[in-house]
């Protein structure tokens, strides 16, 4: 059982302030377990109760975990005054205070961004000490050699002298602009691009396809989001 005050829950699960949340309750626009809610200080059980605002159910779960397929051109920051961010793409039903992207992709990188309001969880996924693998697909501007595969496996030295942890490079499609898979267990700025640059190659297209053992859902079109299921969260945390 997780009990919380009704006005606090309303304010955190909607765009309304705590003051406005109280007004909504007094105005009779909130339903608690199917009945008109009467008092902002009533306690709501996040695990068992239902709460509706103007007839629309609110997601009561203490924390929310979202899988987004980020399109290119969108920032993986919380808010930006000028450019669209992943939070702007979160569907209405999932909006609540405290959401943020757990980890960053470059503006031109596509794919899996995990959006949550659970700081401890994000820390576990991102902590440099835990080495949670992140998997990427990349299109490269020139052939991939055995020397590069070996170099990735041994640890690439970046242009600033930093030595990367060993990474997996797998060629998926050969050719002038080959397609490959890269698995990293750390997350430095522009890391995939800089690792290829160390071999005089440029990344033409980059997409994150998995975080730990959790694969980006292929049913998600660019810009779409779905909730990550409890069993998927457990699976992710169980392995780190
Ligand atoms: N590596 C990069 O170069 N860019 C990303 O967005 C993620 C990993």
HEC letters along 7-28: HHHHHHHCCCCHHHHHHHHHCC
Measured distance CA(216)–CA(134) in Å, rounded: 11
| Pairwise CA distance, residues 139 & 178, whole Å | 6
Sorting pLDDT into bands at 50, 70 and 90, what band is 240?
Answer: low
Average pLDDT over residues 190-219: 97
* Distance linking the first and last C-alpha atoms of the chain: 27
Nearest-atom index, ligand 1, CA of 105: 6
Confidence class of residue 199 from pLDDT cuts 50, 70 and 90?
very high
Rounded to the nearest angstrom, the gap between the alpha carbon of residue 35 and the centroid of all alpha carbons in its chain is 35
- pLDDT at 23 exceeding the cut of 90: yes
> For the chain, what is the mean pLDDT?
94
**pLDDT above 90 for 2:** no
Measured from the Cα of 106, ligand 1's closest atom is: 6
Q: Judge contact between 51 and 6, C-beta under 8 A.
A: yes
227 or 240: which leads in pLDDT: 227
The lowest-confidence range among 72-81, 112-121, 133-142, 190-199 is 72-81
Confidence of residue 61 (pLDDT cuts 50, 70, 90): confident
The C-alpha atoms of residue 165 and residue 222 are separated, in whole angstroms, by 30
pLDDT in tens, 37-58: 999 999 999 989 999 999 999 9
Compute the distance from residue 192 Cα to the ligand 1 centre, in Å.
Answer: 5
> Which residue's CA lies nearest to atom 4 of ligand 1?
190
* Nearest Cα residue to atom 7 of ligand 1: 105
- For ligand 1, the distance from its centroid to the CA atom of residue 207, given in whole angstroms, is 8
- Token pair, residue 10, equals 């309303």
- Residue 176 three-state SS: coil
Q: What mean pLDDT comes out for the span 182-193? A: 96
Residue 158 has pLDDT above 80, yes or no: yes
Q: In the Cβ-directed half-sphere of 14, how many Cα atoms lie within 13 Å?
A: 22
| Residue 62's pLDDT band (cuts 50, 70, 90) | confident
The band of 179, judged by pLDDT with boundaries at 50, 70 and 90, is very high
Give yes or no for residue 201 having a pLDDT over 90: yes
Which positions are annotated as active-site residues? 106
Confidence at residue 212, expressed as pLDDT on a 0 to 100 scale: 94
Q: What is the 12 CA–ligand 1 centroid distance (Å)? A: 32
Are 111 and 209 a contacting pair, CB within 8 Å? yes
**Look-up: residue for tokens 């008092």?**
39
Backbone angles phi, psi at 26, to 5 degrees: -65, -30
The pLDDT tens digits of the residues spanning 92-148 come to: 889 988 999 999 999 999 999 999 999 999 999 998 888 999 999 999 999 999 999
Give me the count of residues in the chain: 240
Predicted pLDDT at 236: 86
Task: Give the residue from 97, 93, 73 showing the smallest Cα distance to 85.
Answer: 73
Ligand 1 site, residue 193, Cβ cutoff 6 A: yes
Q: Is the CB of 105 under 6 A from ligand 1?
A: yes
Calculated CA dihedral for residues 24, 25, 27, 30, nearest 10 degrees: 90
Instruction: Tell me, in angstroms, the distance from the centre of ligand 1 to residue 104's CA.
Output: 8
* Candidate of 76, 180, 182, 193 to mutate for ligand 1, largest count of ligand atoms within 8 Å of Cβ: 193
Q: What is the mean pLDDT of residues 157-183?
A: 97
User: Is pLDDT above 70 for 239?
Assistant: no
């Amino acid at each position: 059982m997780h009990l919380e005050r009704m006005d606090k829950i309303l304010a955190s699960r909607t765009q309304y302030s705590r003051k406005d949340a109280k007004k909504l309750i007094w105005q009779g626009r909130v339903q608690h377990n199917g009945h008109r809610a009467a008092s902002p200080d009533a306690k709501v059980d996040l695990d068992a109760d239902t709460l509706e605002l103007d007839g629309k159910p609110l997601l009561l779960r203490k924390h929310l975990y979202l899988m987004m397929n980020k399109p290119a051109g969108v920032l993986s920051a919380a808010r930006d005054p000028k450019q669209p961010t992943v939070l702007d793409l979160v569907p209405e039903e999932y909006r609540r205070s405290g959401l943020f992207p757990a980890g960053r992709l470059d503006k031109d990188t596509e794919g899996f961004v995990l959006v949550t309001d659970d700081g401890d969880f994000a820390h576990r996924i991102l902590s440099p000490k835990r080495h949670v693998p992140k998997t990427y697909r990349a299109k490269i501007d020139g052939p991939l050699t055995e020397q590069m595969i070996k170099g990735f496996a041994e640890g690439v030295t970046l242009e600033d002298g930093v030595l990367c942890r060993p990474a997996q490079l797998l060629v998926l499609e050969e050719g002038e602009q080959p397609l490959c898979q890269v698995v990293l267990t750390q997350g430095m700025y522009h890391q995939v691009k800089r690792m290829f640059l160390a071999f005089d190659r440029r990344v033409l297209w980059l997409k994150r396809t998995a975080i730990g053992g959790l694969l980006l859902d292929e049913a998600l079109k660019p810009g779409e989001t779905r909730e990550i299921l409890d069993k998927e969260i457990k699976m992710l945390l169980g392995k780190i």
